[in-house]
Structure 1
């Protein structure tokens, strides 16, 4: 889930209230490359009686193909000094990208309200830039696709961590690292045949698990990721990737397709919240879990 601290639509209090109202018992918010909203999320969770699991979604680079892949972090110490130091780097990179993109857009006649970027919470995202274009004559989605995606002729890349760097940061802060929506990502790059190789690379980098149950994934997509996770004995998670109401192609809050595959949310909550579980339960078979 995401908030206004990255590219989501809701403030922490709004998101936690919505989660409580639909009956969720535990949540993890994974804003992109920032933990700035987690203090507010944790405070709201305590007020409303929800279990809070610190989360983040790192933007990383898979070389040599140059594919942007995302690494989720769960259950870490959000105040860890090494984590905070690395997140300062992501903020500087985001501002460098924003300045370059604003200059490019301005040279093509687009008017950007820079004060809106300056007042943005958390980290500057492409969504913030699209919203800041005041003479935009199309939706934010259309503008994003035309000017800000990697398929755009105006594309400017953002310097990113390598996969192993993001995993190291999460592990040093005491968390679990999970590869996010791999099939969706590779499909966007027309690179689905690389799935097994990419998963193998993640494993060699020390990944703890993968997001198997993602949004509206079909049965075959879930089955493919599930088999890969079972092969390597990895943690299995799921999520809606909720950004707000009315987002194209997204699931409602707290929803994702599981297609009747077995999972145990209670055990996963124990793993991600660092609650101890008996050693006899920490086998590959018992890692078939989801949040």
Structure 2
């Protein structure tokens, strides 16, 4: 059992990178990729613990790409030699995230919600994101649940929504490939492209450097995943599977399991495993 899509407290997961690896060991995983949003800050610590625990560690990242009407998330899996281009891009995204968060706080104040950036950041070891604003709204009893916070305030098009900093696809693909990684389209149904148009869209993305699609994701139904896998294979893509694990913030997602609670088999990891060539 393995997992190719997980998050730690270095972005919006609840577990530290070290505890994520320990949890993976407890669940019986043989390999795990850490793919935090816009950062590789947790990879060194996760790799060290993985070596101690006897788990294969695959460094990765998840980057947002501008897209309408849905969302386009690009996984970079197998970042065994970090290029200066990727480091520079992630610094840019970190600053963009900071500015976005300040704008959300400003919007909250304009609505009469007493808040400061320090209030939001309190007790958060990693970067601040919308889930932390959702938590704040729950703690201040403005909403009852995090889900309600997104539906009313933080989701795309809602009053507190501010677009996230993103990289152009060509830029992100270059950064990932220069770092030895493989660019993978995460949860393709988030693009909000109809099934009739999806083959053409995927072919265009392949021509721009996307090498694989995450056909298996827990937000999709099993039948949809099977359809995506078949389509991806017909178009010559690598096929991946992940849990998109976030820990206690999304307890329905379990390490090593994907759509339909299916176990993510070891064979999915083969294209991303480390080798002497990848580390040179």
User: Under a length normalisation based on structure 2, what TM-score does the superposition of the two structures give?
Assistant: 0.86
Counterpart-to-counterpart distance in 2, 1:191 and 1:151: 21
1:161/1:66 CA distance change after superposition, 3 Å = farther
Counterpart-to-counterpart distance in 1, 2:113 and 2:178: 42
CA positional deviation for 1:247? 1.9
CA positional deviation for 1:233? 1.7
Matches within 5 A, 1:58-97: 58-62=63-67, 65-77=68-80, 79-97=82-100
**1:202 equivalent among 195, 199, 205:** 205
Partner of 1:23: 28
Counterpart-to-counterpart distance in 1, 2:124 and 2:243: 24
1:211 counterpart SS class: strand
CA positional deviation for 1:145? 2.3
Counterpart-to-counterpart distance in 2, 1:259 and 1:159: 32
CA positional deviation for 1:144? 2.2
Unaligned runs of 5+ in 1: 278-291
1:121/1:59 CA distance change after superposition, 3 Å = farther
**2:170 equivalent among 156, 160, 164:** 164
Partner of 2:269: 269
- Asked if the contact 1:5–1:120 (Cα under 8 Å) also holds between the matched residues in 2, the reply is no
- Indicate whether 1:238 and 2:241 are aligned: yes
CA positional deviation for 1:217? 3.0
Partner of 1:253: 255
- Asked if the contact 1:3–1:9 (Cα under 8 Å) also holds between the matched residues in 2, the reply is yes
Matches within 5 A, 1:1-291: 1-62=6-67, 65-77=68-80, 79-115=82-118, 116-117=120-121, 120-133=124-137, 135-138=140-143, 139-183=145-189, 185-186=190-191, 189=192, 191-215=194-218, 217-245=220-248, 247=250, 250-257=252-259, 265-266=266-267, 268-275=268-275
CA positional deviation for 1:57? 0.7
1:161 counterpart SS class: coil
- Range with greater deviation from structure 2 (221-230 or 50-59): 221-230
How well do the aligned residues superpose, as a CA RMSD in angstroms?
Answer: 2.7
1:121/1:201 CA distance change after superposition, 3 Å = farther
CA positional deviation for 1:162? 2.0
Counterpart-to-counterpart distance in 2, 1:17 and 1:257: 23
Counterpart-to-counterpart distance in 2, 1:270 and 1:190: 29
Once the two structures are superposed, residues 142-194 of structure 1 have per-residue CA deviations (whole angstroms, 9 ceiling, x without a partner) of 112211111314432223112222211101111111100112x13xx475544
Unaligned runs of 5+ in 2: 1-5
Higher RCO by CA contacts (8 Å cutoff, separation 6 or greater): 2
- Range with greater deviation from structure 2 (251-260 or 173-182): 251-260
2:184 counterpart SS class: strand
Once the two structures are superposed, residues 79-115 of structure 1 have per-residue CA deviations (whole angstroms, 9 ceiling, x without a partner) of 4221111100100110111111100011112233522
